[in-house]
Homo-oligomer: A and B are copies of this chain.
Amino acid sequence: MAHHRYTPTHYHVAIGPHQPVLRVAPGDTISTTTVDARGGDASGQQVTDRGNPQTGPFYVEGAEPGDTLVVHFDRIWPNRKQGWTGTAVAANVLDPGFKPGFTDEVDLAEWEVDLAQGTARLTSPPSPLGKLDLPLAPMLGCFGVAPPRGQAISTATSSTHGGNMDYRGFVQGATVYFPVFVPGALLHVGDCHAVQGDGEIVGTGIEISAEVTMTVELIKNHPINWPRAENAEFIMTVGNARPLDQCVQHATTEMVRWLTSDFGLDARTAHLLLGQCVQYDLGNIFDPAYTMVCKVSKRVLDGIGAVRK
Q: What is the interface of chain A, defined by CB distance below 8 A to chain B?
A: 12-14, 16, 51, 85-98, 100-104, 106, 109, 120, 122, 125, 127-129, 131-134, 147-156, 195-202, 204-206, 241-246, 248-250, 252-253, 256, 260, 265-269, 271-280, 282, 285, 288, 290, 292, 300, 303-306
Contact = CB atoms under 8 A, between A and B. Distances in A.
A227 to B, nearest CB: 15
B153 A95 contact: no
Copies per assembly: 4
A262 to B, nearest CB: 15
Nearest to A109: B272
A127 B269 contact: yes
A90 B253 CA distance: 11
A88 B120 CA distance: 43
29 contacts: A13-B149, A14-B151, A16-B150, A85-B276, A87-B271, A89-B252, A95-B249, A95-B253, A96-B249, A98-B253, A98-B256, A100-B256, A102-B268, A103-B268, A106-B268, A127-B266, A127-B272, A128-B304, A149-B154, A151-B152, A151-B153, A151-B154, A198-B279, A199-B278, A201-B274, A206-B276, A245-B290, A282-B282, A282-B292
A196 to B, nearest CB: 7
Nearest to A49: B149
B242 A245 contact: yes
Nearest to A15: B151
Given A90-B96, A93-B248, A95-B249, 6 more contacts: A87-B275, A89-B274, A94-B253, A125-B268, A153-B153, A197-B279
> Which has the most chain B C-beta neighbours within 10 Å: A106, A131, A279?
A279
A274 B197 CA distance: 7
B154 A275 contact: no
A274 B100 CA distance: 13
Contacts of A98: 253, 256
